[in-house]
């Protein structure tokens, strides 16, 4: 089973992909950049951008009937590894123990020149 998940409370997919796919046991959420779905705006600074990316993830999780506590794996893409500390401050406020497994990598460039993109895997 492969069911797409979509909500207008997070930025819509802008290409041939789904916001998320529900397999029945797992929900795979595509990378979320910090676009406010109501305004289309990107906030300033890594802390605000990390918070918006996580808000978008929470909206998709809610559409799937899940919460941030269901997340078991995250991947954080950063425009610069120097942003890791500030991103991690926001991340630590949003996720609770036991924390999800995580990878964090710096990439050359992200869509819309944002500073962060976060993707997650959640379990039912």
Q: Which residue in the block uniquely carries the two structure tokens 């600074």? A: 45
Residue 95's alpha-carbon distances to 36, 69, 77, 98, 121, in angstroms, are 20, 7, 17, 8, 13
CA separation for the pair 51, 63 (Å, rounded) = 19
Buried b (16+ CB within 10 A) or exposed e, 87-104: beebbeebbeeeebeeeb
Please give the pLDDT value at position 18: 96
| Residue 4: both structure tokens together | 């797409």
Please give the pLDDT value at position 99: 97
Give the residue numbers spanning the domain of 117.
3-123
How many domains, the chain? 1
The CATH number of the domain holding residue 105 is 3.30.1330.40
Q: Collapsing DSSP states into helix, strand and coil, what is residue 75?
A: strand
Please give the pLDDT value at position 14: 82
Low-confidence stretches of the chain (pLDDT < 70) are: none
Q: Which residue in the block uniquely carries the two structure tokens 């944002």? A: 114
């Amino acid at each position: 089973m492969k069911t797409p998940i979509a909500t207008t409370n997070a930025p819509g997919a802008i290409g041939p992909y789904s916001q998320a796919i529900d397999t029945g046991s797992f929900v795979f959420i595509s990378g979320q950049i910090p676009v406010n779905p109501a305004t289309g705006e990107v906030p300033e600074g890594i802390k605000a951008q990390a918070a918006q990316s996580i808000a978008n993830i929470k909206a998709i999780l809610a559409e799937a009937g899940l919460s941030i506590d269901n997340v078991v794996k995250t991947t954080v893409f950063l425009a610069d590894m120097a942003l890791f500390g500030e991103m991690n401050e926001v991340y630590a406020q949003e996720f609770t123990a036991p924390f999800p497994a995580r990878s964090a990598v710096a990439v050359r460039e992200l869509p819309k020149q944002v500073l962060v993109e976060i993707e997650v895997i959640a379990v039912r």
